[in-house]
Amino acid sequence: MIGYEEGREQVIGRLQTGYPRFFLNPAVNALFSRAEQGIGHKGERAVVFPNRNACQRAQRYVERKQSVATRIASFEGLQALLVPGEAYGAARDYWKHTGEVVSSRQAADALAGTLCKEGSRDLVVPLAAAIGVKAEGLFVYESGMAAIYSAHRSVTSRSPGRKTLQLEFPYVDALKVQEQFGTGVAFLPHGTGEGLSEALQRIRSGEFSGVFCEVPSNPLLQTVDLAALAAACRISGTPLIVDDTVSSHRNVDVFPHADLATTSMTKWISGEGDVMAGSVRINPESALYGELHDLLSDGAPGQSRLYRKDAEVLLANATGFGALVERANVGGEIVAQFLQEHPAVARVWYPKYVDREPYEALLRPGGGYGGLISMVLKNEKKAPAVYDALRWSKGPSLGTKFSLACPYSLLAHYTELDWAESCGVRPDLLRLSVGMEDPSVLCESLGEALALG
């Protein structure tokens, strides 16, 4: 993990694939290279986007960040942003933070000249039925971050010049989007006590264009008082945007409190780790429903921007969504209890043990605490040995049928570890996503690894 973050060749040189927004899939990398060779001028680099609007947004971002001239060209049915070599990093930052990406299936088809021209709007209704939500207010995107970015663009367009508010420590790029785009963000890493009271007053005064939070949050599994937030937001007409990726809408119901709910469908809804997608759902009872529906429709005609073949895979995977969440609820609770009682573990973050009352206020009938768990050891110096010894799949995701482990802080905040720790996220924090395996086997492997701690 450290070798990857530091760009060591003995690690990077052996990696063939990685998390798609951060590490280019071979097909996507080949697509970028072909664009550079085919339509690039000397010294130019190419980043290919799925549509012209996304490409133009990336162009404005790069030109603002780097003060350079760029150009856009059609390429193999997609849109290529061509930038000077020194601006390539900024173009990749846009790709990484916003999630408006070309998928590996889309890239492979473009390279083969077989790009599917048919959209996926006709799959929105069956997908909504498969995951148990209403189709009318469901918008589907290329990734979970593209969904969050679309929600951010929509709410900030209503109130130009106003910052957004982020409550609780969020997933890294959920905060980066608010920092990099719009007018900026006011960040409250601990949404309780006097800090929350002050935030509620600022919300009631209409200071913010939108209020963002996660329920529960990633990676500290915290749950803010959504009812109090919603009451403040309604006084000022401020949209409340809640991400429910961590435990999924199968477990928690953020409506009627939230105006918008964002989800990474890459996670529990797919469960297979073989497709990216994200969604925004509009609360049908929201006073802002019509306005938000129009804003989201402008950016996603037909309510879906997902590449056809990705949408077909997602729909097939979604049939297992309910069973996966039910198994993860059971396994997650067993694993969390095992860790809670283990003598080598200093602390466990899990909705059963963190902000339990506000979390349970959102539980659906039959819902559970989910499959995501974070922990730190009593001897933090032992964390690398425990992680290396753990016989789980290692990877920067969650919500798959197979359990996953990652050293979350190193993965998401390697260049800002002190800042993350000041927000309560320790450098040695390990995050676990429990899948469908036998929980006793998972606990046994954890016990073996923790014996080193």
Predicted confidence (pLDDT) at residue 54 exceeds the cutoff of 80: yes
Give the mean model confidence (pLDDT) for residues 304-314.
98
Q: What is the biggest distance separating any 2 CA atoms in the chain, rounded to whole angstroms? A: 61
pLDDT in tens, 196-215: 999 999 999 999 999 999 99
For the domain spanning 121-318, the CATH number is 3.40.640.10
Closest CA to 451 of 344, 336, 295, 307: 344
Q: Give the pLDDT of residue 121.
A: 97
- Residue ranges of alpha helices (H) inside 22-143 are 26-39, 52-66, 88-98, 104-112, 124-131
Predicted confidence (pLDDT) at residue 193 exceeds the cutoff of 90: no
What sign has the CA pseudo-torsion 77, 56, 58, 184? negative
Confidence band of 32 (pLDDT split at 50, 70, 90):
very high
Q: How much is the mean pLDDT over the chain?
A: 97
Q: Give the pLDDT of residue 399.
A: 98
Q: How far is CA 20 from CA 69, 280, 386, in A?
A: 27, 20, 27
Q: Give the pLDDT of residue 191.
A: 84
Element (H, E) at 360: helix 356-360
Strand partners, 433: 372, 404
Predicted confidence (pLDDT) at residue 346 exceeds the cutoff of 80: yes
Predicted confidence (pLDDT) at residue 341 exceeds the cutoff of 80: yes
The model carries a pTM of 0.96
Give the mean model confidence (pLDDT) for residues 157-176.
96
Predicted confidence (pLDDT) at residue 453 exceeds the cutoff of 80: no
pLDDT in tens, 130-163: 999 999 999 999 999 999 999 999 999 999 999 9
Q: So what CATH class is 321-450? A: alpha beta
Q: Give the pLDDT of residue 282.
A: 98
Measured CA to CA, the distance from residue 104 to residue 308 in angstroms comes to 12
pLDDT in tens, 281-290: 999 999 999 9
Give the mean model confidence (pLDDT) for residues 215-234.
97
pLDDT in tens, 359-412: 999 999 999 999 999 999 999 999 999 999 999 999 999 999 999 999 999 999
Taking each helix axis from N to C end, the angle separating 321-341 and 439-450, rounded to the nearest 10 degrees, works out to 40
Confidence band of 192 (pLDDT split at 50, 70, 90):
confident
As a whole-number percent, the residues of the chain with pLDDT over 70 amount to 100
CA 142, chain centre distance (Å): 12
Predicted confidence (pLDDT) at residue 17 exceeds the cutoff of 90: no
Confidence band of 168 (pLDDT split at 50, 70, 90):
very high
- Where in the chain is CATH 3.40.640.10? 121-318
- Where in the chain is CATH 3.90.1150.10? 321-450
Measured CA to CA, the distance from residue 101 to residue 104 in angstroms comes to 9
Predicted confidence (pLDDT) at residue 421 exceeds the cutoff of 80: yes
Q: How far is CA 304 from CA 68, 119, 144, 296, in A?
A: 33, 8, 13, 10
